Amino acid sequence: MEKNKYIMTVFGCQMNERDAETLRGFLDELGYEEVEKVKDAGLVIMNTCAVRQKAEEKVFGHIGRLGKLKQENPDLTIAICGCMVQQEEVAKKIKKSYPYVDLIFGTHNIATFPELLQRAQESEETILDLWDDAGQVVEGLPVTRKDGIKAWVNITYGCNNFCSYCVVPYVRGRERSRLPGDIVAEVSSLAAKGFREVTLLGQNVNSYGKDLDELVDFASLLHRVDTETEIDRVRFMTSHPRDFNEKLAKVIAEGRSVCEHVHLPIQSGSNRILELMNRGYTREHYLALAEMLRGYVPSCALTTDIIVGFPGETEEDFAMTLEIVEIVGFDSAFTFLYSPRKGTPAAKMPGQVDNGVKKERFSRLLEAQNRWSLERSKALVGSVHELLVEGPSKTEKHVLTGRTRQNKTVNFTGENVMPGELVMVEIIEARTWSLAGRLKT
């Protein structure tokens, strides 16, 4: 073990992954080297997630196991950060229950990480540093990206929606948008460095710009990135149905680099449940959006999020969700069992659904969605698609893998093809979660 070596574990969403890239950037500047085994590290960092209970339980389990390592090596520095510890009661619990943790800091003060790390390494007490307010967007922070082909680019931080089940606005703060010029400059820089694809990130990208003095919205930002940079592909997530509009659909349809894939979480097909969730739209509104989007972009892949077992959900409510799956025919869906989060309105709602009922409904939803995912894949057999090559398949080293503009994973064989290349591939076989193809020469 060497003091200037570190290992980082990242839980949760793409926002956490992007935060981890900034932490790596700072550590590179400080002369640290990332290692793969915890026994080789002098610094252990956990970037945590608060969205679901299981994620928190995983983190507590990891922290507990670090106690033995700390006993064996008192010079080991342990740092816990991210959404989970932005909740003050959780941060205090960690400090009290795991006194060998050296540093606890939240989502708002990543820019001060080098100073916090130095304080933690010099102090005999746990450094707990949480900011109640996120403050202004800080530009110019270092970034170390592991992937030289695809990159995450933040466009907003925080969220103003306050869905009744979600802890994000409490741990990420209110929405703050980056200036469009800063975003365009970052994407241009990435293209110049050889990156082929960027994903514009925000808890709700569609509300971009509402807090800025200049008149700009997400559609106009996306148009600028498309027309003012040399990047080959642009993706974005996540879109909120409340703010998705026809102007954005037109930009997707007309854009050179904008990929034909929209992730548009519906969460439930029941208007009653959507209202309890404080989602701000109805099933009818969502269906109209899906129809409008496919009208402008017929080849668009539409994916979604669905929560099963929200408080008060009846069999009739769930049947409405299954009906939405059949009507829309999503390419894929991220499906979740409702998980109560302390401090959110939904956690105190009556009618908490029994776990057995949740799991039974979840199985039915999964069966319906898997059938549609396979149907969408079958429809692509025989067609030719542009593929961004990512590298060897995780399961078969002689097989290459990449993604279409619709974000479909395709495994294919071919010679003299390198990661980062854009190639044309014919789809020859459909599977539920991936496609098989052959290189077109």
The domain segmentation of the chain, as residue ranges, is 2-129, 145-259, 263-281+289-378, 384-439
Neighbours of 194 (CB within 10 A): 9
Residue 399: other Cβ atoms inside 10 A: 14
How far apart CA 370 and CA 373 sit, in angstroms, is 5
Mean model confidence pLDDT for the chain: 95
Q: What is the pTM of this model?
A: 0.93
Place domain 2-129 in its CATH homologous superfamily. Methylthiotransferase, N-terminal domain (3.40.50.12160)
| Cis-peptide into 48, omega within 30 deg | no
pLDDT digits (tens, 9 = 90+) for 331-359: 999 999 999 998 899 999 999 999 999 99
Q: How far is CA 38 from the centre of its chain?
A: 25
- Beta-ladder partners of 323: none
- CATH placement of domain 145-259: 3.30.750.210
Span 164-210, pLDDT tens digits: 999 999 999 999 999 999 999 999 999 999 999 999 999 999 999 99
φ, ψ of residue 168 to 5 degrees: the values are -55, -50
Q: What is the mean pLDDT of residues 273-286?
A: 98
Listed residue (154, 386, 146, 157) closest to 259, CA to CA: 386
How confident is residue 44, by pLDDT bands cut at 50, 70 and 90? very high
Residue 32's pLDDT band, with cuts at 50, 70 and 90, is very high
Residue 2 has pLDDT above 70, yes or no: no
In the block, tokens 């709602």 appear at 349
Q: Note the CATH architecture for domain 263-281+289-378.
A: 2-Layer Sandwich (3.30)
H helices within 262-383, ranges in order? 271-277, 283-296, 315-328, 355-378
Residue 304 has pLDDT above 90, yes or no: yes
> What is the token pair recorded at 281?
């739209």
Whole-number Å distance between alpha carbons of 329 and 376: 8
Q: What is the mean pLDDT of residues 257-274?
A: 98
239-248, 361-370, 392-401, 403-412: least confident range: 392-401
Are 3 and 32 in contact, with CB atoms under 8 Å apart? no
State in words which class domain 384-439 has.
mainly beta
Q: What pLDDT band is residue 255 in, cutting at 50, 70 and 90?
A: very high
